[in-house]
Amino acid sequence: MIAPDLLAWVTAEAVTPEQVVPYVRAVAGSRPRMVGSCVGFDSDGEFVLVGYPMHDPLDVGAMTEAVGQALQIRGLRRITVIGSVRPPQAPEQSIVTEDCYYALPMPPPRPGQKLRNLLRRAGRELTLDRGCQYGDDHLALVQRYLDERHLATGTRHIFRQLSRYLASSAGSLLLSARLADGRLAAFAVGEFAALRTAFYMFSFREPRLAPPGATDLLLAGLLDEARERGHTQMNLGLGVNAGISFFKGKWGAAPFLPYVQATWETSSAGPFSRLRGLFADESEGFAMKKPSGKASGKAFRGPGFWARVRERLLGVPRLLDCVQVEVSSRCPGRCIYCPHTTMREEWDSRDMDMDTFARLWPLMLRSGRAHLQVWGEPLLNPAFFDMAALARKAGCAVSTTTCGLLMNEEVARKLVEGGFDIVAFSLAGTDAASNASRRGVDFDRVCEAVSTLQAVRRSLNSVHLEVHIAYLMLASNMEAVRRLPRLMHRLGVRGAVISTLDYIPTPDLECEGLAPHETEKLARASAVLRETEEEARRLGVAFHWTLPRPDAPGASCRENIFRCVFVAADGYLSPCVYVNLPGRASDPKRRVFGNVRDQDPLAIWEGEEFRRFRNRLASGEPDLPCLTCVKRFES
């Protein structure tokens, strides 16, 4: 442990957020300690060394010495070192990521003309409210942000606890941007606990209210604060991606400190710890059946403490947003538009086995979400909850979509306790008549299933699980969607995603889809959806929809294939669910790029052929299955 005065000294000298001790403690609850001239954080056999020596963050000799000392810590299983270079002790197989911190000197350079115009415009519409209380409107804004993004469960959890972070760090400051009528358009959090360096920590904006430049106005406000408090620079965080780097660069921020994170295991797991890794998640107390076959020899150790903090708080995303897994292609339904029904003669009804699922471990470690459903009813797979537990252990948010027929109190309890953050129920109508295309999936039964899950969720005081509706709007049934907000309100459902028939399994169903050239149909659909969205807003439920755009360049795809991947029940990897249907081995549009039973899934993802497929789409010369795919025109 660090004595309180030393702890305060570390924070006072901080140049990176990892050295702001109250911040790290508030979000991770780990124990700070000094190792040589660096601060580190201890967490049950795992140590994170912030290898920026307090006297000089670029002193590599002092960092190397501190790493040597940290490696002597008793019971150490894994170490993560964050510093300006890769530590010489890091073995070859270390997991290394690189980035750099951006900073602005204080006072900052004068903004350019374009930025000044933006600030003027935002300043006319918004008033900055400094050091205010974190209230219901902040909470609602964060909630909307969460509703609209696929984020790891941990991220959602942390964002929901922003008020706790603000309360526990005396150096934090909440800055809110409000419209003339008092509505909250955006807010940001700065950290000023260090003597010389201020930190730009978080910002959220309400896109429907915030005028252009709202986030810039908030940053300007935090810079004013830093100037008044006498800071000499503001750390704007890591580059993260091109968009975020652009925002920082626009202000004149420049990289000032390399960020190299290296993680490695310090001792080989003995038989006992291997078993523990396989069968139990120590932090969450779940018991998992032993996977059979080759994969059972692996220890499934989840992402390290610092990897989690880095993702959740510094906003560094994982390689992938989502790995979508076909856990079962069996289904009791006979929906008229579904290939499970139209291709029933050749359909391969199958479950993924646990051994195949376990081989996705390297992919899940690099993915923000595992969505356990594609074609079929996922709850039919007897290993479904074990799979969800393994994905959670890899640090993924876990979600699923169900037809609802298998829901009962026991299943609902497992979904809640299994850490799912989204469970979606499929509908294609808003009453028994309009939902009739979902043959074999009784409308009232689905509503009852939603109510069962809601009741169990409430009885267990679960705040992490959100119930959604996955709604298919058929062209012949557009008007029915108007009743969806009311239905959601009645069932306590938070959000709905409206899609149209993207996969046309037989020519006679073409009329039920919405192609980019069908402008009249699209205009009707758009009018219905806009009006329904208004109603949803009035009732306080989230309503997301997209339609194909005739003018879309077609060089990207709604399935976001650069950050998502689909894994079929037999282990084959594909860019999306439309290019590998169960039982369609001879389909000329079938595209698979390797099987996890034979190859590392990350190697498949990064393989040349898979890359070529993605790049062809981006270059506007897509492969055969994409040529006629409506997903290229949705936005």
| Interacting residues with ligand SF4 (CB under 6 A) | 331, 333-335, 338, 340-341, 375-377, 403, 426, 438, 441, 557, 559, 561, 575-576, 578-579, 625-626, 629, 631-632
Query: Judged by CB, which is closer to ligand SF4: 1, or 627?
Result: 627
> In the bound complex, what is the minimum distance in angstroms from residue 15's beta carbon to ligand SF4?
43
> In the bound complex, what is the minimum distance in angstroms from residue 633's beta carbon to ligand SF4?
9
> In the bound complex, what is the minimum distance in angstroms from residue 629's beta carbon to ligand SF4?
3
Quick one: which H or E segment has residue 28?
Answer: helix 21-28
* Tokens of residue 451, six digits: 């109510």
* Tokens of residue 630, six digits: 């409506």
> In the bound complex, what is the minimum distance in angstroms from residue 212's beta carbon to ligand SF4?
31
- What DSSP state is assigned to residue 506? S
| β-strands 184-191, 254-265 pairing | unpaired
Q: Whole-angstrom Cα distance, residue 549 to residue 632?
A: 9
Query: Judged by CB, which is closer to ligand SF4: 42, or 634?
Result: 634
Query: Judged by CB, which is closer to ligand SF4: 376, or 418?
Result: 376
> In the bound complex, what is the minimum distance in angstroms from residue 577's beta carbon to ligand SF4?
8
Cα–chain-centroid distance for residue 619?
26
CB atoms within 10 A of CB 325: 27
> In the bound complex, what is the minimum distance in angstroms from residue 33's beta carbon to ligand SF4?
49
Helix axes 21-28, 4-12, angle to 10 degrees: 110
Q: Whole-angstrom Cα distance, residue 468 to residue 455?
A: 15
With tokens 């004595």, the residue in question is: 3
Quick one: which H or E segment has residue 280?
Answer: strand 280-281
> In the bound complex, what is the minimum distance in angstroms from residue 614's beta carbon to ligand SF4?
8
Cis, peptide link before residue 107, omega less than 30° from 0? yes
> In the bound complex, what is the minimum distance in angstroms from residue 434's beta carbon to ligand SF4?
15
With tokens 């004068």, the residue in question is: 110
Query: Judged by CB, which is closer to ligand SF4: 136, or 609?
Result: 609
Cα–chain-centroid distance for residue 319?
11
Q: DSSP states of 135-188 as a string?
A: -HHHHHHHHHHHHTS---HHHHHHHHTHHHHHHH-TTEEEEEEE-TTS-EEEEE
> In the bound complex, what is the minimum distance in angstroms from residue 506's beta carbon to ligand SF4?
14
> In the bound complex, what is the minimum distance in angstroms from residue 554's beta carbon to ligand SF4?
8
Query: Judged by CB, which is closer to ligand SF4: 457, or 591?
Result: 591
Query: Judged by CB, which is closer to ligand SF4: 154, or 376?
Result: 376
Query: Judged by CB, which is closer to ligand SF4: 409, or 587?
Result: 587
Q: Provide the H-helix boundaries in 460-540.
A: 484-491, 519-539
> In the bound complex, what is the minimum distance in angstroms from residue 375's beta carbon to ligand SF4?
5
In which order are the strands placed within the sheet that holds 466-473? Answer: 542-545, 495-500, 466-473, 422-427, 397-402, 367-371, 320-325, 564-567, 573-574
With tokens 């523990």, the residue in question is: 276
- What DSSP state is assigned to residue 328? B
Query: Judged by CB, which is closer to ligand SF4: 206, or 559?
Result: 559
Query: Judged by CB, which is closer to ligand SF4: 322, or 403?
Result: 403
Q: How far, in Å, are 415, 417, 541, 603 from residue 459 at the CA level? A: 13, 12, 22, 44
Query: Judged by CB, which is closer to ligand SF4: 331, or 529?
Result: 331
Query: Judged by CB, which is closer to ligand SF4: 231, or 438?
Result: 438
